[in-house]
């Protein structure tokens, strides 16, 4: 967490920064674990001063701010990072702030409770080397059904684990992998190499449907309340989860079986044993 829908919501939340000039970049004082800046502070802040924001994009689970120099400011939220335009959930976890002029936003902030995320300013060459093929697979929202199968069908890993491989497919994490497999009626333990063509077709359709629905609801804010959109408001997709974190509750599809939980690659997988044989 955050995964593709949450990061896409962050991206859309700061689109008003496009065309703005960076008046100042500030590293906020925090008593918590220091996040990684690249280049190290204060060089990062100095290089950002006076730059104009040309575009705001997403690469997998990262927000990418394109600058007039051809460089890219990359926010990687990891577990608890947020990209905000409003007041943060708490001041002590505020890590970084851009003050803007000439656009509809006054500022863009980066907040990170656990301090596992990072803020990096990369040249075009550095960005391609780190986040281009083969480091990062095609985006889960843009990939075709044929490409999805081509990327994963040779893997002997369980399909749930294969979906989490960012080199093969970018953007899907633990939460949405469980949701997608339930909609596609595929058991999370089934080997990717054993999926039929019809199952690949169902998986692709379910992936797009679940991710697009989650984006409409601006992502999932779980029980810890950490994830917030750019305006520091909760997402809404947690109210529509079919299986994730619903162990012991009735399956919303068949209504006759209870959701089960297993552990795969040190992560919890949730599924219905009847709908996902």
By CB atoms closer than 10 A (0-12, 13-18, 19+), residue 141 is middle
Catalytic residue among 11, 51, 61, 66: 61
Residues with Cβ within 8 Å of 128's Cβ and at least 6 positions away in sequence, in order, are: none
- Is 160 part of the annotated catalytic residue set? no
Catalytic residue among 2, 5, 88, 158: 2
Question: What's the mean pLDDT in 18-25?
Answer: 98
Residues with Cβ within 8 Å of 46's Cβ and at least 6 positions away in sequence, in order, are: none
How sure is the predictor about 1, in pLDDT bands with cuts at 50, 70 and 90? Answer: confident
**pLDDT tens readout for residues 63-121:** 999 999 999 999 999 999 999 999 999 999 999 999 999 999 999 999 999 999 999 99
**pLDDT tens readout for residues 162-205:** 999 999 999 999 999 999 999 999 999 999 999 999 999 999 99
Sheet of 62-67, strand order: 36-38, 118-122, 72-76, 62-67, 53-59
- Is 61 part of the annotated catalytic residue set? yes
Instruction: Give SS3 for 65.
Output: strand
Q: At what angle do helices 4-13 and 197-216 cross, to 10 degrees?
A: 40
Query: Cα(first)–Cα(last) distance of the chain, in Å?
Result: 27
Catalytic residue among 114, 201, 261, 267: 267
Catalytic residue among 3, 71, 179, 218: 3
pTM (2 d.p.): 0.96
Distance between CA atoms of 99 and 260, rounded to whole angstroms? 47
Tokens read off for 32: 């918590």
CB 97 within 8 A of CB 25: yes
Residues with Cβ within 8 Å of 76's Cβ and at least 6 positions away in sequence, in order, are: 61, 62, 117, 118, 119, 120
In order of start, what are the domains of the chain with their CATH numbers?
A: 4-131 (3.20.190.10), 145-272 (1.10.8.50)
């Amino acid at each position: 967490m955050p995964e593709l829908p949450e990061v896409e919501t962050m991206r859309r939340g700061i689109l008003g920064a496009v065309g703005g000039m960076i008046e100042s970049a500030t590293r906020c004082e925090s008593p918590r674990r220091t996040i990684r800046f690249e280049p190290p502070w204060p060089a990062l802040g100095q290089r950002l001063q006076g730059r104009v924001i040309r575009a705001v994009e997403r690469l997998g689970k990262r927000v990418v701010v394109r600058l007039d120099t051809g460089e890219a400011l990359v926010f990687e939220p990891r577990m608890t990072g947020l990209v905000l335009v409003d007041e943060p959930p708490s001041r002590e976890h505020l890590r970084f702030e851009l003050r803007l002029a000439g656009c509809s936003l006054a500022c863009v902030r980066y907040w990170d409770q656990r301090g596992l995320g990072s803020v990096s300013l990369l040249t075009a060459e550095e960005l391609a080397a780190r986040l281009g093929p083969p480091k990062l697979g095609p985006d889960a929202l843009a990939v075709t059904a044929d490409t999805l199968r081509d990327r994963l069908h040779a893997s002997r890993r369980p399909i749930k684990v294969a979906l989490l491989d960012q080199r093969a497919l970018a953007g899907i994490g633990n939460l949405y992998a469980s949701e997608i497999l339930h909609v596609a009626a595929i058991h999370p333990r089934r080997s990717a190499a054993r999926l039929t063509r019809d199952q690949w077709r169902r998986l692709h359709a379910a992936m797009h449907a679940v991710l697009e629905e989650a984006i409409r609801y601006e992502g999932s804010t779980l029980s810890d309340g950490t994830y917030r959109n750019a305006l520091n408001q909760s997402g809404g997709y947690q109210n529509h989860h079919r299986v994730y974190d619903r162990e012991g509750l009735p399956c919303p599809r068949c209504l006759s079986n209870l959701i089960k939980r297993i552990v795969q690659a040190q992560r919890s997988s949730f599924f219905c044993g009847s709908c996902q044989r």
